[in-house]
Amino acid sequence: MHCTSCGSDISPGSDFCTSCGVTFNPAGYAGYPVPRRTSGMAIASLVISIVGFFMCFFIFQIVAVIFGILAKKEISESQGMVEGDGLAVGGIVIGIVGLVRDFLIIFIWGAMIFFPFMLA
Protein backbone atom coordinates (compact mmCIF):
# COMPACT_ATOMS: atom_id res chain seq x y z
CA MET A 1 0.00 0.00 0.00
CA HIS A 2 1.20 3.53 -0.74
CA CYS A 3 0.49 6.76 1.09
CA THR A 4 -1.86 8.97 -0.92
CA SER A 5 -0.20 12.08 0.46
CA CYS A 6 3.54 11.46 -0.07
CA GLY A 7 3.63 8.18 -2.02
CA SER A 8 5.89 6.25 0.38
CA ASP A 9 5.33 2.57 1.10
CA ILE A 10 3.04 1.77 4.03
CA SER A 11 3.12 -1.57 5.83
CA PRO A 12 -0.23 -3.40 5.89
CA GLY A 13 -2.30 -2.62 8.96
CA SER A 14 -0.48 0.65 9.65
CA ASP A 15 -2.62 3.49 11.01
CA PHE A 16 -0.39 6.33 9.81
CA CYS A 17 2.40 7.15 7.37
CA THR A 18 5.78 7.33 9.12
CA SER A 19 7.11 9.70 6.45
CA CYS A 20 4.47 12.45 6.44
CA GLY A 21 2.25 11.61 9.45
CA VAL A 22 -1.05 11.22 7.53
CA THR A 23 -3.53 8.95 9.33
CA PHE A 24 -5.56 6.29 7.57
CA ASN A 25 -9.06 5.10 8.24
CA PRO A 26 -9.75 1.33 8.17
CA ALA A 27 -10.43 1.46 4.41
CA GLY A 28 -6.90 2.77 3.83
CA TYR A 29 -7.79 6.26 2.63
CA ALA A 30 -5.68 9.16 3.79
CA GLY A 31 -7.09 11.39 6.48
CA TYR A 32 -5.71 14.44 8.19
CA PRO A 33 -2.00 14.60 9.11
CA VAL A 34 -1.27 13.78 12.71
CA PRO A 35 0.56 16.70 14.30
CA ARG A 36 4.09 15.83 15.32
CA ARG A 37 5.32 17.04 18.66
CA THR A 38 8.76 18.13 19.76
CA SER A 39 10.37 16.10 22.51
CA GLY A 40 10.34 17.95 25.82
CA MET A 41 13.46 16.05 26.88
CA ALA A 42 15.30 17.36 23.81
CA ILE A 43 14.32 20.94 24.59
CA ALA A 44 15.31 20.49 28.23
CA SER A 45 18.65 18.98 27.19
CA LEU A 46 19.54 21.96 25.02
CA VAL A 47 18.37 24.60 27.51
CA ILE A 48 20.08 22.97 30.51
CA SER A 49 23.33 22.49 28.58
CA ILE A 50 23.41 26.16 27.53
CA VAL A 51 22.63 27.37 31.06
CA GLY A 52 25.23 25.02 32.51
CA PHE A 53 27.81 26.07 29.94
CA PHE A 54 27.59 29.73 30.91
CA MET A 55 27.28 29.10 34.64
CA CYS A 56 30.12 26.52 34.75
CA PHE A 57 28.11 23.96 36.70
CA PHE A 58 29.14 20.48 35.64
CA ILE A 59 26.01 18.99 37.27
CA PHE A 60 23.89 20.77 34.64
CA GLN A 61 26.12 19.35 31.90
CA ILE A 62 25.69 15.78 33.18
CA VAL A 63 21.90 16.20 33.37
CA ALA A 64 21.86 17.70 29.85
CA VAL A 65 23.78 14.76 28.39
CA ILE A 66 21.45 12.26 30.12
CA PHE A 67 18.34 14.13 28.91
CA GLY A 68 19.76 14.27 25.39
CA ILE A 69 20.39 10.52 25.30
CA LEU A 70 16.90 9.80 26.64
CA ALA A 71 15.38 12.20 24.08
CA LYS A 72 17.22 10.49 21.21
CA LYS A 73 15.84 7.15 22.41
CA GLU A 74 12.31 8.59 22.65
CA ILE A 75 12.56 10.09 19.16
CA SER A 76 13.89 6.91 17.57
CA GLU A 77 11.12 4.80 19.15
CA SER A 78 8.30 7.18 18.13
CA GLN A 79 8.19 6.11 14.45
CA GLY A 80 8.36 9.69 13.23
CA MET A 81 5.74 11.15 15.55
CA VAL A 82 8.21 12.97 17.83
CA GLU A 83 10.70 15.53 16.53
CA GLY A 84 13.70 17.24 18.08
CA ASP A 85 16.67 15.08 17.13
CA GLY A 86 18.80 18.15 16.40
CA LEU A 87 17.92 19.68 19.76
CA ALA A 88 18.94 16.47 21.53
CA VAL A 89 22.23 16.26 19.63
CA GLY A 90 22.92 19.92 20.38
CA GLY A 91 22.28 19.33 24.09
CA ILE A 92 24.59 16.32 24.13
CA VAL A 93 27.41 18.12 22.28
CA ILE A 94 27.22 21.31 24.35
CA GLY A 95 26.98 19.20 27.51
CA ILE A 96 30.10 17.20 26.68
CA VAL A 97 32.07 20.31 25.64
CA GLY A 98 30.99 22.01 28.87
CA LEU A 99 32.02 18.98 30.94
CA VAL A 100 35.47 18.90 29.36
CA ARG A 101 35.87 22.65 29.91
CA ASP A 102 34.71 22.43 33.53
CA PHE A 103 37.14 19.61 34.35
CA LEU A 104 39.99 21.52 32.70
CA ILE A 105 39.15 24.58 34.80
CA ILE A 106 39.07 22.49 37.98
CA PHE A 107 42.39 20.85 37.06
CA ILE A 108 44.09 24.19 36.29
CA TRP A 109 42.79 25.83 39.46
CA GLY A 110 43.92 22.85 41.49
CA ALA A 111 47.37 22.97 39.92
CA MET A 112 47.64 26.70 40.59
CA ILE A 113 46.65 26.29 44.23
CA PHE A 114 48.63 23.16 45.14
CA PHE A 115 51.68 23.35 42.87
CA PRO A 116 53.37 26.26 44.72
CA PHE A 117 53.15 24.29 47.98
CA MET A 118 54.79 21.27 46.35
CA LEU A 119 57.86 23.33 45.43
CA ALA A 120 58.49 24.41 49.03
- Encode pLDDT of 70-97 as tens digits: 999 999 998 888 999 999 999 999 999 9
Domain check: are 15 and 49 in the same one? Answer: no
Other beta carbons within 10 angstroms of residue 24's beta carbon come to 19
DSSP β-bridge partners for residue 9: 2
Please tell me whether residues 46 and 76 are part of one structural domain: yes
Q: What is the Cα–Cα distance from 61 to 78, expressed in whole angstroms?
A: 26
Which element (helix H / strand E) includes 31? Answer: strand 30-33
pTM of the model: 0.69
Each residue of 1-18: pLDDT tens digit?
A: 667 677 777 777 677 777
* Domain encompassing residue 31: 1-35
39 within 8 A of 58, measured Cβ to Cβ: no
Q: Are residues 10 and 21 located together in one domain of the fold?
A: yes
Q: Identify whether residues 81 and 112 lie together within a single domain.
A: yes
Together in a domain, 47 and 10:
no
Taking residue 17's Cβ as centre, other Cβ atoms within 10 Å add up to 24
